Structure 1
Amino acid sequence: MAAAGDSTLFDENFTITTFDQSKYDRVARIGATSSDSQTVMTLDINTDLYPLSVGESIHMVLASSLALDGSKDDNKGWRDVGRAGHGGEATLADMFDYVCHGKLYKFEDGDESGQTIKAYVSFGGLLLALEGPYKKLTPLRVDYLYMLIKK
């Protein structure tokens, strides 16, 4: 996704493999596998805002900024960044259906070979866990990031 400048940290298509809504009414924990089968994702998602089901494909981007030119948006609250429909300038968020801002809180080795790692992000209590090749997930070593999803 070249339009996002250098703010794109991770860009992948996933197919949803599991869906568990047994713990909460409006939150499901989904499991998904990347199109190249190298990355596995577990994600808590608000099903009222964004309903998903097993077998669906989603496109997920993790980015350090919503600015299309990749510039940092540190001086604004993340909710104020880009409201294209509200007189603001267009952002990466305008191209996606579900957008969250969260904190990367843990990295750990994925397996004994050292070829895979796991990254954990919290979006206000909704969690994302990614496990995949070291090369693909290393760019995620930032404090805060945006998750953007579309079908």
Structure 2
Amino acid sequence: MASTGDTQLFDESFTITNVDDSKYDRVARFAATSADSQTVMTLDINTELYPCQLGETLHCVLASSLSLDGTKDEGKGWRDVGRNVNGGEPTLADMFDYVCHGKIYKFEDGEDGQTIKAYISFGGLLMALEGPYKKLTPLRVDYVYLLIKK
């Protein structure tokens, strides 16, 4: 059985440095920088569901599974509304405020040769992460969950 650490591919806190809400009514594109200033994130968020503001800190996790014991989801889905009522297992999603499921679809080498950029789509809401190879190495072309809390 895998541990939760094996399923968490990326775990970082970011401070929002720019907000662009000019293109869509309920979606804004946020630019953010990690606490150690090594990683830059661009992320589209449905602001009607999860309002965010300039200067706020977001704790972001990318995980391959929501299961706390690290087992694969195998199509169960995380949106089983009756789960807690029926005594279902708690999941990683219970600890976060905003959860999306998407696919890592592209990687690019950074301009300096020391960084990599990963692109992820969550049903059309896009995310780009650019940072050192060492931090982004666990990411691969695969389906992932994005979990965010303030």
- The reply to whether residue 115 of structure 1 matches residue 114 of structure 2 is yes
1:93 partner SS: helix
- Cα distance per residue 1:8-38 (max 9 Å; x no partner): 0000000000001000000000000000000
Partner Cα distance (1:23, 1:86) in 2: 41
Query: Aligned letter for 1:145?
Result: V
Higher helix share: 1
Q: What is the TM-score of this pair, normalised by structure 1?
A: 0.92
Partner Cα distance (1:52, 1:124) in 2: 20
- The reply to whether residue 10 of structure 1 matches residue 10 of structure 2 is yes
Matches within 5 A, 1:60-79: 60-79=60-79
Q: Do the aligned partners of residues 74 and 15 (structure 1) sit closer, same or farther apart at CA in structure 2, a change above 3 Å counting? A: same
Task: Tell me by how many angstroms 1:81 deviates.
Answer: 9.5
1:106 partner SS: strand
Partner Cα distance (1:134, 1:81) in 2: 38
Judge conservation of contact 1:84–1:94 (CA < 8 Å) in 2.
no
Which shows bigger deviation, 72-81 or 38-47? 72-81
Identity of aligned residues (%): 78
Partner Cα distance (1:85, 1:32) in 2: 37
Query: What stretches of structure 1 of length at least 5 have no aligned partner?
Result: none
- Cα distance per residue 1:51-88 (max 9 Å; x no partner): 00000001000000000011111242343499435632
Alignment length (residue pairs):
148
Q: Do the aligned partners of residues 51 and 85 (structure 1) sit closer, same or farther apart at CA in structure 2, a change above 3 Å counting? A: farther
Partner Cα distance (1:32, 1:67) in 2: 28
Alignment-derived partner of residue 138 in structure 2: 139
Partner Cα distance (2:82, 2:5) in 1: 16
Q: Which stretches of structure 1, 4 residues or longer, exceed 2 Å deviation after superposition?
A: 77-87
Which shows bigger deviation, 92-101 or 73-82? 73-82
1:6 partner SS: helix
Query: What stretches of structure 2 of length at least 5 have no aligned partner?
Result: none
Matches within 5 A, 1:24-103: 24-80=24-80, 83-84=83-84, 87-103=87-103
Judge conservation of contact 2:63–2:145 (CA < 8 Å) in 1.
yes
